[in-house]
């Protein structure tokens, strides 16, 4: 009769706690539901070393290996709006192992304790932290996806040693554990942590099998496309602007023919590194927009971009290779991009400025050949820009120097190419 009453009480508790949880999905929860039962075991390395320092410093310390089995019943899950990451329950634990007393270089004969414990349990989960790029679901934010499988817990209760051999401690003591579970799937978990048993403590590893459903969480799809693309936009803008528009000025590049390209060598007075830039016109559209390709080669990090500019040099599309997946991605520029192509700060040198800044006409020799060029100098406060310009080359520019008080950047035309085609495809 008592057994029937006890079972009925347990069932009533489970029924009450399950009904107390909202049936709606939450956006942050855990891997448990009230009524779940978790059965598992652990192995541990334990010692009473820290306890013995305070209680029996002259009598050595006791250590050994523990083996334990545990059954846990989840009883209660509080819900706060759409958040319910906390769970409470009770657990019964049985423990054995073999232990011995250490006396410096010698030890006693081992003994084999047998005990049991009853504990209250608490869990804190992170389920719901599954975040993906909204367009590329194969590219998750792995840290958060892994985090959703973890569960932090703490158990605390009373231990009773039925057999404790030569142990220096009485039969009753404190039992507890804290650690993390990692859910391999909805039911099986591995765990690790630190436990306490009647004066002994140590680290353990183990595993458990959960019986019952997991809590349902809402599918969180955070649009990280903006951040994803801005990284590549910023990289493209910084390098392309840096290598093509010194001082925010540019020269007429309408004399590029389809497939024609130029190669540049860029150097800095700060170091001996060289950057090779290859720029080519891939396609001229009927509306005046043009597809370009640029490559940057420095011996370690090589980049390739293909991009569409309108007649006013506004960026319309950008193609690049995803560094993580190796796939070609295409982005359509938007007005609200975090990284922007600052066409307002770019302008061509007009005829009056050209005449004013022109200092001489000279012969200039580079690896691309010998050219007759106008030498243009535009000094500013703490900065100086110089260009060597000739209409005989695509883009008109043969060489430029950008100087400040600390550094000189030099760009020099080294080759004129033809027959260049898209390497990223699509047109």
Share of the chain above pLDDT 90, in %: 44
- Examine the domain organization and report whether 154 and 265 are in the same domain: no
Q: Is residue 2 part of a domain?
A: no
Chosen domain end from 183, 211, 239: 211
Tokens matching residue 57? 């410093």
- Examine the domain organization and report whether 161 and 36 are in the same domain: yes
Residue 359: CATH number of its domain: 2.50.20
Residues 279/262, Cβ–Cβ less than 8 Å: yes
Q: Find all residues with CB under 8 Å of 266, minimum gap 6, and list them.
A: 243, 274, 275, 276, 277, 409, 410, 411, 412
Q: How far apart are CA 168 and CA 48, in angstroms?
A: 9
- Examine the domain organization and report whether 236 and 166 are in the same domain: no
Q: How far apart are CA 63 and CA 45, in angstroms?
A: 8
Q: Quick one: CA dihedral 337, 339, 344, 346, positive or negative?
A: negative
What are the residues facing 46 on neighbouring strands?
A: 64, 202
- Examine the domain organization and report whether 168 and 232 are in the same domain: no
Q: How far apart are CA 265 and CA 263, in angstroms?
A: 7
Q: Is residue 92 part of a domain?
A: yes
Q: Is residue 88 part of a domain?
A: yes
- Examine the domain organization and report whether 340 and 317 are in the same domain: yes
- Examine the domain organization and report whether 271 and 197 are in the same domain: no
What are the residues facing 124 on neighbouring strands?
A: 86, 152
Q: Is residue 391 part of a domain?
A: yes
Chosen domain end from 159, 188, 211: 211
pLDDT digits (tens, 9 = 90+) for 371-417: 999 999 987 777 888 999 999 999 999 999 988 888 888 999 999 99
Chosen domain end from 155, 183, 211: 211
Residue 67: CATH number of its domain: 2.40.160.20
- Examine the domain organization and report whether 336 and 200 are in the same domain: no
pLDDT digits (tens, 9 = 90+) for 309-357: 888 888 888 999 888 778 898 888 776 654 555 444 567 788 888 899 9
Other beta carbons within 10 angstroms of residue 377's beta carbon come to 14
Query: How open is the CA angle 219-179-198, to the nearest 5 degrees?
Result: 150
- Examine the domain organization and report whether 93 and 62 are in the same domain: yes
Tokens matching residue 27? 């956006």
- Examine the domain organization and report whether 150 and 270 are in the same domain: no
Other beta carbons within 10 angstroms of residue 104's beta carbon come to 6
pLDDT digits (tens, 9 = 90+) for 120-178: 999 999 888 655 544 444 444 455 567 888 999 999 999 999 987 656 678 899 999 99
- The model's confidence at residue 20, banded by pLDDT at 50, 70 and 90, is very low
pLDDT digits (tens, 9 = 90+) for 94-121: 999 988 776 554 556 787 889 999 999 9
Kind of pairing between the strands at 249-250 and 347-348: parallel
Q: How far apart are CA 233 and CA 242, in angstroms?
A: 14
Total domains present in the chain: 2
Q: Residue written as tokens 């367009």?
A: 135
Q: How far apart are CA 97 and CA 386, in angstroms?
A: 82
Q: Is residue 427 part of a domain?
A: no
Q: Is residue 422 part of a domain?
A: no
Q: Which residue has the higher pLDDT, 298 or 135?
A: 298
Q: Is residue 424 part of a domain?
A: no
Q: How far apart are CA 169 and CA 295, in angstroms?
A: 74
Q: Is residue 344 part of a domain?
A: yes
How far apart, in Å, are the Cα atoms of 325 and each of 83, 140, 329, 357? Answer: 35, 12, 10, 48
- Examine the domain organization and report whether 148 and 91 are in the same domain: yes
What average pLDDT score do residues 68-77 get?
Answer: 96
What are the residues facing 182 on neighbouring strands?
A: 150, 190
Q: Find all residues with CB under 8 Å of 373, minimum gap 6, and list them.
A: 361, 362, 363, 364, 388, 389, 390, 398, 399
Q: What is the DSSP string of 159-223?
A: EEEEE-TT-SS-SEEEEEEEEEEEESSSSEEEEEEEEEETTEEEEEEEEEEEESPPPPB------
Q: How far apart are CA 51 and CA 49, in angstroms?
A: 5
How far apart, in Å, are the Cα atoms of 262 and each of 70, 229, 292? Answer: 72, 27, 12
- Examine the domain organization and report whether 193 and 298 are in the same domain: no
pLDDT at position 405 is 80
Q: Quick one: CA dihedral 228, 232, 235, 236, positive or negative?
A: negative
Boundaries of domain holding 107 = 13-211
- Find the range with the poorest average confidence among 213-217, 220-224, 357-361: 220-224
**pLDDT above 70 for 23:** no
Q: What is the DSSP string of 318-353?
A: EEEE-TTT--EEEEE--TT-SS---GGG-EEPPHHH
- Examine the domain organization and report whether 192 and 238 are in the same domain: no
Q: Residue written as tokens 């009769």?
A: 1
């Amino acid at each position: 009769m008592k057994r029937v009453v006890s079972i009925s009480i347990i069932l009533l508790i489970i029924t009450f706690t399950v009904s107390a949880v909202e049936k709606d999905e939450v956006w942050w929860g855990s891997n448990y539901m009230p009524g779940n039962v978790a059965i598992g075991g652990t192995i541990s390395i334990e010692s009473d070393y820290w306890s013995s320092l305070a209680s029996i410093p002259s009598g050595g310390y006791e250590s050994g290996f523990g083996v334990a089995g545990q059954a846990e019943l989840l009883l209660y899950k509080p819900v706060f709006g759409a958040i319910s990451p906390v769970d409470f329950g009770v657990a019964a634990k049985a423990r054995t192992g073999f232990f011995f007393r250490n006396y410096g270089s010698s030890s006693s004969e081992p003994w084999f304790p047998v005990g049991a414990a009853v504990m209250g349990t608490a869990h804190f989960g992170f389920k719901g932290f599954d975040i993906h790029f909204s367009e590329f679901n194969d590219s998750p934010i792995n840290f958060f996806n892994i985090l959703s499988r973890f569960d932090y817990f703490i158990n605390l209760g009373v231990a009773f040693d039925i057999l404790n051999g030569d142990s220096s401690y009485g039969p009753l003591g404190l039992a507890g554990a804290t650690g993390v579970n990692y859910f391999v799937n909805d039911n099986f978990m591995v765990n690790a942590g630190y436990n306490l048993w009647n004066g002994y403590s140590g680290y353990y590893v183990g595993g458990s099998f959960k019986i019952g459903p997991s809590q349902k969480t809402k599918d969180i799809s955070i649009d990280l496309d903006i951040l994803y693309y801005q990284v590549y936009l910023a990289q493209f803008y910084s390098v392309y602007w840096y290598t093509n528009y010194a001082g925010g000025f540019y020269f007429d590049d309408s004399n590029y023919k389809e497939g024609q390209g130029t190669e540049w060598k860029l150097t800095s007075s700060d170091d001996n590194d060289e950057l090779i830039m290859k720029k080519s016109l891939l396609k001229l559209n009927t509306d005046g927009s043009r597809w370009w390709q640029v490559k940057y080669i420095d011996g370690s990090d090589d980049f390739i971009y293909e991009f569409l500019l309108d007649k006013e040099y506004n960026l319309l599309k950008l193609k690049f290779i995803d560094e993580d997946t190796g796939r070609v991605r295409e982005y359509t520029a938007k007005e609200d991009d975090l990284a922007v192509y600052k066409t307002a700060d770019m302008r061509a040198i007009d005829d009056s400025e050209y005449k004013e800044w022109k200092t001489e006409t000279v012969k200039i020799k580079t690896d691309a050949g010998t050219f007759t060029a106008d030498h243009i100098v535009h000094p500013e406060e703490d900065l100086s820009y110089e260009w060597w310009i000739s209409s005989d080359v695509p883009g008109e520019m043969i060489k430029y120097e950008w100087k400040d008080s600390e550094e000189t950047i030099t760009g020099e035309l080294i080759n004129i190419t033809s027959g260049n085609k898209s390497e990223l495809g699509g047109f």
